[in-house]
Chain A
Amino acid sequence: MLALKLAYRNLVGAGLRTWLNVFVLSFTYILIIWQFGMIDGWNYQAQVDMKNWEVGNGQYWHQNFDPYDFFSYEESHAQIPELLKKATSEGKATPILISQGTIYPDGRLQSMILRGISPEQKVIAIPSAELNVKSEEIPVIIGQRMANSCKLNQGDITTIRWRDANGTFDAKEVKIVKIFHCNVPSVDAGQMYLSLENHQKMMQIPGQATMFIIDKNSNINSNISGWEYKSHEFLMKEMTEMIKMKKVGGSVLYFILLLLAMLAIFDTQVLSIFRRQKEIGTYIAMGMTRKQVVGLFTVEGAMHAILAVIIGAIYGFPFLLWQMKIGISMPAGTDNLGIPIAEKIFPVYGLGLIISTVMLVLIITTIVSYMPAHKISKMNPTDAIKGKIQ
């Protein structure tokens, strides 16, 4: 307790030097919490968006289906199994039929993926109900990215060409009945959605599907012959790993800042011990053990971190809350990076993040404070009182 009181008095007595160190440390706290909060916020939003738009609560894939292998698409469809038919009728799952096609917007040729989806489904957020319109052309919906890359607008009519399950070429006009906005690029870029029934007719495979998306509030994971269950975790794996990597990459910035703060504290400590040799000698002469003096100086250094928590809380708390409320707008073009990024990211600060950051800085500050203080134990008290440089 005495050490704490003394340490506090000494620190406050050091004036500007202390407050500069404390400010840099508090800034480090806030930056770490803010940065990780941003990444966690992005992760959270991406997880929610992916769940709502693409992944659901898991999927069933036809055994030959590999989303990264276009070769597999032609062989990846089969009759809808009974269990999934029942789940579909109960609104717990929705079938998707996937095939390749070519679009000719304004006479240009572009490859794309055709996705047949039930207009009645409510499992994912694709506005498939818009497909329930009567039109001479095949009604289709596309995402904003696809619309941008093909320079298409709502109401436009364009030609698509595809090959049916027998390999025969077919072509028809389609009408863009809706352009939706979505943060998940894999749902949108190079994809065209049409009604499942139309797609099945076009492909000459009535009653067949490539995959099923399970509703986010349902749990279906039974074994179905010819179909492979893919859990929500499996489908989110890439995103989760990317976020982890992003966290590691982002650590570089705060590591540099932390290093600077620690360097300042280390310097302050070294200087204190050098300038306060008489004081150290007096402490020892008055009966303090060397360990107690080392402890006093270590606590003094570590107290920078505690003061930084208080200062950081005074200006950082409102700042972090304000950021959480208004979010950060992502620059134009980030949604074309191929990863799910919302237009605005709202940081998420967990209690774990705050406590772990405080502990991390506190421990490192203590270690850095102890290192020069350790030198005291080697001092000769008589020489120290005389102020002789040791």
Chain B
Amino acid sequence: MKRLFFILFIIPSIIWAQQPTGKTILEKIDKNMAAKSTITTSKMIIRGARQTRTIEVKSWGEGDEKSFTEYLAPAREKGTKMLKLEDELWIYSPSSDRIIKISGHMLRQSLMGSDLSYEDMMDNTELLEDYDAGVIGSETVDGKNCWILELRAKTAEVNYQMRKIWVDKSRYIPLKEELYAKSGKLLKRMELFDVTKIGNRWYPKKMIFKDMLKKGAGTEFIIDEIEFDKKIDAYIFTKASLK
């Protein structure tokens, strides 16, 4: 009887006590990944239904709200620049020599034909602020033991009412994320690979972003170089830097 009581109640309690809460996991992810600023050189490989395109970009970012991107290749896109300041997005196209503000329905358009929309780029969601997170299980992803976090929106005003994040138990880094519609339909999936130690943090150098409603193998991001917490000239995050 004592043994049965031990199995039924004591062991799960010990295990439960060892399992961090969703909030703790998210805080640890944030601590690992968040940086004051980042300067990145990366490739975006867009795998469409018919062809594959590779776009090379250099990006400067400060927090979640400021970012500036310059397209380096291919020749057709070279010189295109994008500036995001909080909820606003501007694009400079060298062929038309014009700065266009992307807003309204244009935000829903695909970014350079990728699986990302401009809207996805604009997503500044603070997970801890907008979601209640709970651990719903464990699963192995890419050979790593992961917590499965289910995030439910606290209010009706959040873009995605539910998200699921698979978090590496040892390094506290997300290896997979799924974004769901209110109806429960899976809309987008993000998978993270090549987790590398950069300074004192673990960081994924490859991501695959897939619009689950669209055909194609998704869009791949490969980070070639990344620098954290470097001082970025304030001029970079102004419209003047677009031209």
A109 within 8 A of B: yes
**Which residue in chain A gives the minimum CB-CB distance to B181?**
A171
A102 within 8 A of B: yes
A-B contact pairs, 9 of them (CB 8 A): A71-B103, A107-B213, A109-B110, A159-B185, A159-B213, A167-B159, A168-B159, A170-B182, A171-B183
Cα distance, A163 to B161, chains bound together (Å): 11
Contact B156 A172 (CB under 8 A): no
Complex interface: chain A residues within 8 A of B211 (CB)? 109
Specify which of A70, A107, A108, A169 is in contact with B187 (CB 8 Å cutoff). Answer: A169
Contact A171 B105 (CB under 8 A): no
Specify which of A71, A107, A164, A169 is in contact with B160 (CB 8 Å cutoff). Answer: A169
CB-defined interface of B207-239 with A at 8 Å, one 1/0 digit per residue?
000010111100000000000000000000000
Complex interface: chain A residues within 8 A of B199 (CB)? none
Contact B109 A111 (CB under 8 A): yes
Cα distance, A102 to B187, chains bound together (Å): 12
Specify which of B157, B187, B214 is in contact with A166 (CB 8 Å cutoff). Answer: B157
Given A167-B157, A171-B183, A171-B185: A107 in contact with B105 (beta carbons within 8 A): no
Nearest CB of chain A from residue B89's CB, rounded to whole Å: 14
A232 within 8 A of B: no
**Which residue in chain A gives the minimum CB-CB distance to B110?**
A109
Near A by CB (< 8 A), chain B positions 141-169 give 153, 156-161
Cα distance, A108 to B110, chains bound together (Å): 11
Complex interface: chain A residues within 8 A of B17 (CB)? none
Contact B161 A107 (CB under 8 A): no
A204 within 8 A of B: yes
Near B by CB (< 8 A), chain A positions 129-182 give 159, 161, 163-164, 166-172
Cα distance, A171 to B160, chains bound together (Å): 11
B243 within 8 A of A: no
Nearest CB of chain A from residue B169's CB, rounded to whole Å: 29
Contact A107 B216 (CB under 8 A): yes
Interface residues in chain B, defined as those with a beta carbon under 8 Å from any beta carbon in chain A? 49, 103-105, 108-110, 153, 156-161, 179, 181-183, 185, 187, 211, 213-216
Contact A102 B157 (CB under 8 A): no
Please name 12 further chain A to chain B contacts, defined as beta carbons within 8 Å, in addition to the given A161-B213, A168-B160, A169-B160, sorted by A numbering: A100-B105, A102-B108, A104-B213, A104-B214, A108-B214, A109-B211, A166-B156, A166-B157, A169-B187, A170-B185, A171-B213, A172-B183
Complex interface: chain A residues within 8 A of B214 (CB)? 104, 107-109
Nearest CB of chain B from residue A384's CB, rounded to whole Å: 73
Given A71-B104, A109-B211, A111-B108: A204 in contact with B187 (beta carbons within 8 A): no
Nearest CB of chain A from residue B1's CB, rounded to whole Å: 51
Specify which of A69, A71, A106, A170 is in contact with B183 (CB 8 Å cutoff). Answer: A170
Contact B110 A204 (CB under 8 A): no
Complex interface: chain A residues within 8 A of B181 (CB)? 161, 169-172
Complex interface: chain B residues within 8 A of A169 (CB)? 159-161, 179, 181-182, 187
Most chain A Cβ neighbours within 10 Å, of B108, B110, B156, B158: B108
Nearest CB of chain B from residue A216's CB, rounded to whole Å: 31
Contact B156 A168 (CB under 8 A): yes
Q: What 7 A-B pairs come out closest when comparing CB atoms?
A: A107-B215, A71-B104, A70-B105, A171-B181, A170-B182, A104-B213, A171-B185
Contact B158 A70 (CB under 8 A): no
Cα distance, A107 to B153, chains bound together (Å): 28
Complex interface: chain B residues within 8 A of A104 (CB)? 213-214
CB-defined interface of A53-81 with B at 8 Å, one 1/0 digit per residue?
00000000000000001110000000000
Contact B182 A164 (CB under 8 A): yes
Most chain B Cβ neighbours within 10 Å, of A108, A167, A168, A169: A169
Complex interface: chain A residues within 8 A of B185 (CB)? 159, 170-172
Complex interface: chain B residues within 8 A of A107 (CB)? 49, 213-216
Nearest CB of chain A from residue B34's CB, rounded to whole Å: 24
Near B by CB (< 8 A), chain A positions 93-137 give 100, 102, 104, 106-109, 111
Complex interface: chain B residues within 8 A of A70 (CB)? 104-105
Cα distance, A71 to B187, chains bound together (Å): 23
Nearest CB of chain B from residue A205's CB, rounded to whole Å: 12
Contact A111 B105 (CB under 8 A): yes
**Which residue in chain A gives the minimum CB-CB distance to B186?**
A171
Cα distance, A257 to B110, chains bound together (Å): 52
Cα distance, A206 to B104, chains bound together (Å): 23
Nearest CB of chain A from residue B242's CB, rounded to whole Å: 22
Cα distance, A108 to B49, chains bound together (Å): 9
Most chain B Cβ neighbours within 10 Å, of A102, A161, A168, A204: A168
Complex interface: chain A residues within 8 A of B213 (CB)? 104, 107, 109, 159, 161, 171
